Structure 1
Amino acid sequence: MHVLRIQLPHTLGFVTRLIYFVQLSPSTGFVCCQNSKRIKWLSINDIINERVEYMFGPELIDFIKLVLKPITQKVTEYSLEEAFFFVPRDPPRNPEEAMLKSIHITEKDVERVYADFIEHCFPSFNQTFESFKCYISKYGFDINSIRLQSLFRAFNFHLNGYLSFHEVLLGIAALEPNIGHGEFRTRFIFRYYDTDYSGTLNADEFRLLVLDMNPGASQQVIDQKVVEGMQQIGTQLINGRDEIVQDDFVMAVGSRRFRGTSCLCRSTKPIFTQITRSMAARTLKKLTSRQNMGSIIRPTPQGECVTCKEKEYTLATHSVKINSDGKIVEPIQVLNCGENRSDVLNSQMYSIDFVFNKNSAANVMLKLVRQFNKEKGTNKEPKGLLACRPVQLWNLILALYNDIDVLLNEEDKCPRVFSPCYIIGDIHGNLEDLLSLEKALWKRMPCVGSNFVFLGDYVDRGQWGLECSLYLMAFKALCPNKVTMLRGNHEVRTLQTYYTYKRECVTKYGEEYGIKIWELTNKIFDKLPVAAVVDDAIYCAHGGIPRSAQTISQINQIKRELVNPEVESAIAWEILWSDPCHAQQFIDICNFFKQNPRETGGFVRNTKRGTAFLFNEVGANGFLQQNGLTHIVRAHEVPQRGYMFHFGQKCVTIFSCSHYCGNDNACSCVLADNQVMRVIRLDTVNNAPATD
């Protein structure tokens, strides 16, 4: 038996992992070597010789070796004291501490990486190459890159084929964009290019290093630099070949005889910051277990047993004051870091860093958009947010992108939302109506009592698509569990190029920064969910239901990032573009295409859009019943009153942009609360855009 005790961060408690050796007697009638869903049989020889693919940790190999020895019991313990071994002291005791100190790594930073490491690895406590690939891909690295093997080798300074926590911690630090270029990083780079684990660099390996130092250089230049570099560093004759020894490489870089290695092996983004944001996002994610929505059979919810109802209340980490204008002022901390729940600490850190920090990117963005609304110009002469300072705006959007990108990576393609919930339709660059919605529905942000689902189409048609998008992204960053932004058909590059959003960005900020801003906001659109379900009853989407999927679980299987949904996902494309269709119109279209309406399954080609499908009541009923749902709320069309019902009120179209394209339509939204859906109409009569 092997007993491993791992001390957890924050709580200081321990979790215990047990591995047993069990000998089965043939007399029991047990038949071995029969694989099942729960048991996978492996050959001991394959395990010892490491011929088993996709192993997440080395424990199985180590345990088999332990069993083959006379002593078959082992107890190990890993405490926080060991995890904090390399926390920088003053002065640093070794090159590892000096490296961490150069980027101001604190005990809290190490604790977060430790928590992230345990969460990823458990029940293992080490990372094999397969585990490492999955781990590092969460922070922007391509899981299929051939260079990950070199990166794994660079991390693995023990050269034993798997990574300990300290190897991961120091490896991440070595990749930081602004880390000092000292001895540890130099050895890290050396291991990266030591492809044969020999402890030396031959001419071919050194050439790869020189190529990465001089991207785009000609072969002649590279050949010359390889010769010069090997002379500057010095070589030793090993097995008949001139090779560079690691210590000589370190000394040459340290004494600056060999220059230019500082640019090697650096991440484009700070990984420590990404880990902090990712942990905050996971902590703030709803604490409800994911269910297969397709298996829920509850066509008419009748409430929930009070005893069985989940009770997940916790005390908020901050108290706030609400002024006479309904705004949040003077937040104060009411929970300290001594709480023994890890999620409380992480929520608290998220609140301090993002929500109640006036200088966070999201709060700065909201303030700027609100100020801009008073001076934004007219339709004929529109201005732009920070139009005279495009570099400052770009940096602010980049910071906001880094915050929201981590949140979206943790969100389903069809997330579950709970009432009370406001469902809001198309915005289309109508900043006046968006801020009217703010004033009426979420003035006390971030301490709002309701959830919000935005059904997409934030850009195009209107003049302020960028400002509306940035406002909603900031809202999402500040209230990640309260705000769900869905993708609309206009959150797609091809449509924006045809309509106005791309032109809007270029007109306001010039060709260089206009395109950069347009592309960066679209990178967020690419990851937005395409649907949501409120109270396991109300299906929300921009366009409608898909013909290519019958269940919510199939929607959740859509890949996270869709740059071109028309090509990459038929399900997503149909959700963005489909429309409901009343009975007679459906029959007429079927007759036109010479189809039998009874044999269509409730779907026919969408002649109005030229893409995706129209669905009738049969199609709607089939989707709702299959998923145990009761209603559909969607956007995508412009009802005169701001709302419109279909199929006997089973489907509602909602539109939240009044005076759309010069029309006289109203602005409405839907409130789902206490098993009642209520249409809310907003007074936006004074929001008609000025033209002079």
Structure 2
Amino acid sequence: MSVSMRVNGAASPSLASTGCSSSGARMMLSDHVSVVIYFVVRNDVRFLLNVPSNSDNSFWVPNSRVAVPDSGWLKTAERILHELGCDAPSQRPDTARITRISLPAVHVSQQTISHVTFAVKLMDTEAAQIMIGRNLKWLSINEVMDTWTQFWGLFGGGPPGSSAASNAGVSMAIRSVQDELLHVIQGVVDANGNNPAPVVQELHFSDVLVGLGVDAARLPLVESANLFEFEQEVLHQEFLMRTFPFPKLKRPGYCQFLIEWGWAKDQIQPMFRASDASGFGALSFRDFVVAVAATAPSAQHGGPCGEARCRYIFRYYDANEDGFLEFSEFKSMVTDIHRLKNLSTAVEDVERAAHASFLVFEPENPKVLSLSEFLYGVGQLKFRGTSVLLRAPRPVMDFLQTVYQDVVDVNEKSASDLNFNTVQSGDDVGNNRSRKTRYDNVRVLTPGDELQQGYELAAHSVKVRSGSIINVMTLWEYQGTETLKETGVEHLGLNRIHSTDTFNKTWPPNVMIASLKFFEGNTHSMMFPYGVTCSSETPKQKYTWGSYDRIQLGKNLIYIANTARKLFLHEPRMVQVRSPAYILGDIHGNFHDLTCFEKVFWHLGPTLTPANILFLGDYVDRGNMGVEVVAYLLSHKVAAPEKFFLLRGNHELRSVQKMFQFHDQCFSLFGPTLGPEVWEAINSAFDAMPLAGLIDKKILCLHGGIFPNEYGGGLVDAINTIPVPLSDPEKESPLAWEIMWNDPAHEQALTGNGLMSLKLNAGFAPNVRRGTAHVFSQAALQAFLERNKLSHVIRAHEVQQAGFQLHQKGRLLTVFSSSQYCGYSNEAACVFAENNRLRIIRLDTS
């Protein structure tokens, strides 16, 4: 019998490789079935496996694509058995494990793919019927490891024990093989050769996203390469198409990816070596993203990003993988620097330059250079030129945008379904690239964009009563869904994950919002939201957490803050907001007033409110409930990113919070261990917040005030050039500092020096009251409005007795949205922008 070892569309289920052809080419995503075939002899479990030839790079378990959806998983498993000559085993295939992967949002044809593993236990006589050959063998796990040593060269270095392979490298590579093989067979068969209960495993993109937390050290490099969540979704799709159904990308797949990207063939093997930092012989998705980021044309080459790139460069030129750069390896690096910088590449010139450069590192061993010596020398600028090394031939998203047209054609979708839309705002400034990428479900629209977009049906029907949502149903749950199918709404709704999350009670933002309702009331434990437990059933006082689980609360808040941060990073520094819109000023930890605004203006939630909502900053300090205010605002931002906008104020700064209450509130509520994590996660979100909003291209909204002409000629477009994130705006962006701190000048109260400064500096003078930034005159404001074709500026930053104040001939409006601020008797107000009119609304918060 001849056993085919490749998948050929629907024609042959056959035995397939681990997710892609041995060449590493991209394959369309579809369900896969693996069949673990085994028998037990003298208490030894033996598996039917395909031992790799010299052209392959894995141990194979019989598996196949489910080429035709109607054929089903079981039928595919039976076809595999038939092809192996085992048509009617005494034991039917048992489902052992289902691994279901939620596809990135960019994948338009389906939401999930599954890898289904069946187990088939054969009798001795049945096992004898299967014709084994040179590659197809019955092996125990121990025999697999013994056989593997013959193929060490396939994983890099040389045979174990050679000078080119360290003991650590051998151990890591062995674990790579074990990891891949056991990924399929482990848990399918127990020690006695029996099948345990089937296991269902759910894997989500959020589980592998390079973000905050465990990836904090990698994040700066990834973000400097403009690989935000949407870009990582696209990369995840590419990764899966080269690896599925197995979890890691091996050498052939990665090398093929690099070739298609445009790298030179002589760079391919060193690139894999540089990318495989763990020496594992395969790349996880996070390894893959970091490798792409390290070679991005836009990746920074200073600070943490520069160190990460230099580590990558070191591994690239460390050809024998001994952890040192010998002189010949270092000379290869110098040769490449000379070539890329158009310097002489003559042998004698390179030799001379390499010797001189090698000595500046002052290596402990004069024959080799260690990684620490290399990093120190580059960091101290003793050796220059590494910034030009290993730069990709083009940005990875440009490459994938072209190749994914083929995927779109196969799925019979238009190119727009992959949503490679980007927003370009301003020039590169400082150490930040101002290119922002849109989420598929987060569209930052400018006025007039709505004219270019047709309407579509929302995915849900909502039932309300007395200002509350009492029932939510998807449209396709109703009778008459055949009509919906004809319009394409059913397919549309099934792919709109964010819409589904919006009304999902177990979604973390909704859990937090419900928890805050508990905090606000005097509810006892029977009313706790979503399974949260409490040791006491007695009523609690309003605006307290009672016996609520603070650990669960803190972890949920960290998740929400991290998610909000990703949204902020994708927004321009000056967000475009359409009217009608509510504009609110300082909140300052006043959760009571915030919920009063909610009950009046968006009691059904922002999603069902016919207006956008814009906050101007200063959410924390001065008040006692800063944590709750932040939890509320960030949760609604995540739940309704297109309706709910948050700007940064001067209290969204770590240094300011440490002088006031918010820092201590986090520690007090969550304790000395979790408290710092919550505080840092929230401030990381603050670091990425936009700094201004532009309503209908006519009304500029910001926290403090307008800025002098020295910043971008006094044009509002300069705001979009502000770097992001900003952990220390005073040092990193003077323009951001001005926006957060400036005040209007009260010219009648200025001294002679102040008035003279206004005249000499185009209407700007030092802000003596605050000790930083500037004040600006009515003349400066008028010039600013005319220059930018604006009608008004709305700002916050200063308490007002009536909750608002008009300044400078009515063109400047201050709004303050926290009543009884610091014991005062002031009111709270907001501004409502609609139909070319600004209306002041004062709120009775009693």
TM-score (norm: length of structure 1) = 0.60
Please name the residue that 2:699 is paired with. 538
Structure 2: gaps of 5 or more residues: 1-24, 37-59, 66-96, 112-204, 206-220, 233-247, 263-271, 273-278, 292-311, 327-363, 365-419, 421-435, 524-540
Correspondence 1:674 to 2:835 = yes
Correspondence 1:603 to 2:764 = yes
| Structure-2 change in CA distance of 1:527 and 1:113 (3 Å) | farther
Distance 2:658 2:509 in 1: 27
After superposition, give the CA deviation of every residue in 1:224-263 in whole Å (9 maximum; x if it has no partner).
xxxxxxxxxxxxxxxxxxxxxxxxxxxxxxxxxxxxxxxx
User: Does the Cα contact within 8 Å between 1:419 and 1:535 map onto a contact in 2?
Assistant: yes
Q: CA deviation at 1:337?
A: 8.7
Q: Secondary structure at the match of 1:162?
A: helix
Correspondence 1:622 to 2:783 = yes
User: Does the Cα contact within 8 Å between 2:692 and 2:703 map onto a contact in 1?
Assistant: yes
Please name the residue that 2:721 is paired with. 557
Q: CA deviation at 1:152?
A: 11
Q: CA deviation at 1:111?
A: 2.1
Q: CA deviation at 1:83?
A: 6.3
Q: Secondary structure at the match of 1:91?
A: strand
Q: CA deviation at 1:114?
A: 11
After superposition, give the CA deviation of every residue in 1:154-187 in whole Å (9 maximum; x if it has no partner).
685335743579xxxxxxxx9xxxxxx9986599
Q: Secondary structure at the match of 2:735?
A: helix
Please name the residue that 1:332 is paired with. 474
Aligned residue among 311, 315, 322 for 1:203 = 322
Q: Secondary structure at the match of 1:158?
A: helix
Structure 1: gaps of 5 or more residues: 1-81, 117-129, 142-150, 166-173, 175-180, 208-218, 220-274, 292-307, 687-692
Aligned residue among 416, 420, 437 for 2:597 = 437
Q: Secondary structure at the match of 2:474?
A: strand
Distance 1:652 1:153 in 2: 60
Correspondence 1:573 to 2:573 = no
User: Does the Cα contact within 8 Å between 1:387 and 1:508 map onto a contact in 2?
Assistant: no
Correspondence 1:87 to 2:247 = no
State the aligned residue count.
477
User: Does the Cα contact within 8 Å between 2:694 and 2:701 map onto a contact in 1?
Assistant: yes
User: Does the Cα contact within 8 Å between 1:283 and 1:347 map onto a contact in 2?
Assistant: no
Q: CA deviation at 1:138?
A: 5.4
Distance 1:492 1:199 in 2: 43
Q: Which amino acid aligns with 1:366?
A: I
Q: Secondary structure at the match of 1:395?
A: helix
Q: Which amino acid aligns with 1:478?
A: A
Q: Which amino acid aligns with 1:315?
A: L
| Structure-2 change in CA distance of 1:132 and 1:613 (3 Å) | closer
Distance 2:313 2:793 in 1: 58
Please name the residue that 2:519 is paired with. 372
1:610-649 superposed matches below 5 A: 610-649=771-810
Q: Which amino acid aligns with 1:319?
A: S
User: Does the Cα contact within 8 Å between 1:280 and 1:347 map onto a contact in 2?
Assistant: no
Q: Which amino acid aligns with 2:789?
A: G
User: Does the Cα contact within 8 Å between 1:582 and 1:617 map onto a contact in 2?
Assistant: no
Q: CA deviation at 1:281?
A: 2.9
Distance 1:642 1:474 in 2: 26
Q: CA deviation at 1:96?
A: 12
Please name the residue that 2:460 is paired with. 318
Q: Secondary structure at the match of 1:453?
A: strand
Q: Which has the larger radius of gyration?
A: 2
Please name the residue that 1:286 is paired with. 444
Q: Secondary structure at the match of 2:255?
A: coil
Correspondence 1:405 to 2:405 = no
Distance 1:132 1:475 in 2: 25
Task: Pick 1 or 2: higher relative contact order, CA cutoff 8 A, min separation 6.
Answer: 1
Q: Secondary structure at the match of 1:157?
A: helix
| Structure-2 change in CA distance of 1:628 and 1:357 (3 Å) | same
Distance 2:475 2:438 in 1: 17
Q: Which amino acid aligns with 2:496?
A: Q
After superposition, give the CA deviation of every residue in 1:644-690 in whole Å (9 maximum; x if it has no partner).
10012111111110011111100100000000100001111x2xxxx
| Structure-2 change in CA distance of 1:154 and 1:417 (3 Å) | farther
| Structure-2 change in CA distance of 1:287 and 1:417 (3 Å) | closer
Aligned residue among 542, 550, 553 for 1:393 = 553
Please name the residue that 2:508 is paired with. 361
| Structure-2 change in CA distance of 1:154 and 1:639 (3 Å) | farther
Q: Which amino acid aligns with 2:259?
A: Y
Distance 1:453 1:667 in 2: 15
Please name the residue that 2:100 is paired with. 104
Please name the residue that 1:298 is paired with. none
Distance 1:92 1:133 in 2: 43
| Structure-2 change in CA distance of 1:107 and 1:97 (3 Å) | farther
Q: CA deviation at 1:137?
A: 6.0
Distance 1:621 1:453 in 2: 24
Q: Secondary structure at the match of 2:624?
A: coil
Please name the residue that 1:305 is paired with. none
Q: Secondary structure at the match of 1:284?
A: coil
Distance 2:665 2:812 in 1: 34
Q: CA deviation at 1:195?
A: 8.0
| Structure-2 change in CA distance of 1:154 and 1:541 (3 Å) | farther
User: Does the Cα contact within 8 Å between 2:485 and 2:491 map onto a contact in 1?
Assistant: no
Q: CA deviation at 1:596?
A: 5.3
User: Does the Cα contact within 8 Å between 1:156 and 1:162 map onto a contact in 2?
Assistant: no
| Structure-2 change in CA distance of 1:624 and 1:343 (3 Å) | farther
1:197-346 superposed matches below 5 A: 202-204=321-323, 281-288=439-446, 310=452, 312-327=454-469, 329-333=471-475
Q: Secondary structure at the match of 1:327?
A: strand
Q: Which amino acid aligns with 1:284?
A: V
| Structure-2 change in CA distance of 1:114 and 1:198 (3 Å) | farther
| Structure-2 change in CA distance of 1:320 and 1:443 (3 Å) | same
Please name the residue that 1:350 is paired with. 498
After superposition, give the CA deviation of every residue in 1:327-384 in whole Å (9 maximum; x if it has no partner).
36324235979976999569721111x20111111100101011101259xxxx9976
Please name the residue that 2:579 is paired with. 419
| Structure-2 change in CA distance of 1:411 and 1:520 (3 Å) | same
Distance 1:83 1:337 in 2: 32
TM-score (norm: length of structure 2) = 0.50
User: Does the Cα contact within 8 Å between 2:614 and 2:644 map onto a contact in 1?
Assistant: yes
Q: Which amino acid aligns with 2:475?
A: Q
Distance 2:716 2:491 in 1: 29
Distance 1:312 1:109 in 2: 21
Please name the residue that 1:463 is paired with. 624
| Structure-2 change in CA distance of 1:519 and 1:279 (3 Å) | same
Distance 1:358 1:137 in 2: 27
| Structure-2 change in CA distance of 1:493 and 1:109 (3 Å) | closer
Q: Which amino acid aligns with 2:520?
A: N
After superposition, give the CA deviation of every residue in 1:95-146 in whole Å (9 maximum; x if it has no partner).
79899x9862256778269999xxxxxxxxxxxxx999846465899xxxxx
Distance 1:187 1:206 in 2: 28
Q: CA deviation at 1:397?
A: 1.6
Distance 1:326 1:409 in 2: 32
User: Does the Cα contact within 8 Å between 2:743 and 2:767 map onto a contact in 1?
Assistant: yes
Q: Which amino acid aligns with 2:619?
A: Y
| Structure-2 change in CA distance of 1:426 and 1:90 (3 Å) | same
After superposition, give the CA deviation of every residue in 1:270-329 in whole Å (9 maximum; x if it has no partner).
xxxxx9xx99834321344999xxxxxxxxxxxxxxxx9555433222221112234363
| Structure-2 change in CA distance of 1:612 and 1:202 (3 Å) | closer
Distance 1:565 1:553 in 2: 18
Please name the residue that 1:158 is paired with. 255
Please name the residue that 2:423 is paired with. none
Q: Which amino acid aligns with 1:431?
A: F
Q: Which amino acid aligns with 1:392?
A: Q
Please name the residue that 2:358 is paired with. none
Please name the residue that 1:250 is paired with. none
After superposition, give the CA deviation of every residue in 1:468-499 in whole Å (9 maximum; x if it has no partner).
01101011111111111000110100000001
Cα RMSD between the aligned structures? 4.7
Q: CA deviation at 1:625?
A: 1.2
| Structure-2 change in CA distance of 1:605 and 1:480 (3 Å) | same
